[in-house]
């Protein structure tokens, strides 16, 4: 049987090296693609910094047909890609992601706008410190939170940090980005993997999204925060492996 082409899309402020042990487990059976989002990991940014632009830019380098796994912001980009190029996306896996990152009157299961406003204000003083605070929020409430933060910081330091402008553009995208108008265009099999203690994207968002796709798989991991593939790489890899099975 031929190997699956698996594309891993990281979140805001990070880079394609974040996947660590989880990626190595799946590399035994998949051809892995771990691109940097524009503006991340030393890659040149794009303008405008929108979901459509990010998706279109990545589409140029993706395999002819692939499974997309997107985490956090990368999950929003993956959703847009699945709708934009359905013939190129075989299956869709979302980890700690939803179609809308910021709360509004029609989507309550999301981060409060005031939190993103605070990050935007802090960015003016020290972008790197603001990014590290965001890493701490990602681990908050989960098991082994201190170890997870250490892992996130270690991976973050392995490649150049995004510029302050890229981080600002990314925050604006998290604030205003919305894939909901395109959800009806997503026809691929869908798998949702979410930490029950996720303090960035509430687990209620994953449950709500799963309810919109009757055939979607939903896996809620007790004790996990925003990045379960870091704290339980083997378990998350097993879920992915099962979803990819014919």
184 carries an active-site annotation: no
108 carries an active-site annotation: no
Helix axes 233-244, 20-27, angle to 10 degrees: 40
Look at residues 22, 71, 27 and name the one whose alpha carbon lies nearest to residue 195. 71
Residue 31 — left, alpha, or beta (φ > 0 → left; ψ -120 to 50 → alpha)?
Answer: beta
Which of 45, 72, 97, 98 is catalytic? The answer is 72
Bond prior to 79 in cis (omega within 30° of 0):
no
Residue 39 — left, alpha, or beta (φ > 0 → left; ψ -120 to 50 → alpha)?
Answer: left
CA dihedral 10, 221, 204, 5 (to 10 degrees): 40
Distance CA 37, CA 58 (A): 8
Q: Are 202 and 195 in contact (CB under 8 A)?
A: no
97 carries an active-site annotation: no
Which of 10, 33, 98, 198 is catalytic? The answer is 198
Which of 10, 33, 194, 226 is catalytic? The answer is 226
Tokens of 83: 């709708």
Residues annotated as catalytic (active site), given as ranges? 72, 198, 226
């Amino acid at each position: 049987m031929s190997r699956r082409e698996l594309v891993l899309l990281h979140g805001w402020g990070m880079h394609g090296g974040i996947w660590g042990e989880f990626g190595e487990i799946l590399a035994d059976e998949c051809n892995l693609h771990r691109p940097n989002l524009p503006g991340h990991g030393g890659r040149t940014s794009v303008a405008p910094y929108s979901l459509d632009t990010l998706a279109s830019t990545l589409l140029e380098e993706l395999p002819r047909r692939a499974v997309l796994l997107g985490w956090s912001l990368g999950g929003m980009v993956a959703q847009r890609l699945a709708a934009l190029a359905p013939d190129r996306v075989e299956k869709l896996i979302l980890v700690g992601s939803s179609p809308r990152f910021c709360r509004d009157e029609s989507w309550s299961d999301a981060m409060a706008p005031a939190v993103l406003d605070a990050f935007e204000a802090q960015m003016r003083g020290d972008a790197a410190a603001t990014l590290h605070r965001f890493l701490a929020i990602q681990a908050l409430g989960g098991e082994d939170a201190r170890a997870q933060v250490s892992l996130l910081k270690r991976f973050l330091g392995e490649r150049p940090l995004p510029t302050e402008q890229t981080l600002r553009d990314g925050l604006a995208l998290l604030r205003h980005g919305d894939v909901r108008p395109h959800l009806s265009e997503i026809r691929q099999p869908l798998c949702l993997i979410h930490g029950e203690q996720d303090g960035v994207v509430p687990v209620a968002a994953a449950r709500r999204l799963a309810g919109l796709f009757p055939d979607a798989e939903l896996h809620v991991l007790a004790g996990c925060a925003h990045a379960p593939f870091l704290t339980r790489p083997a378990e998350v890899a097993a879920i992915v492996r099962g979803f990819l099975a014919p």
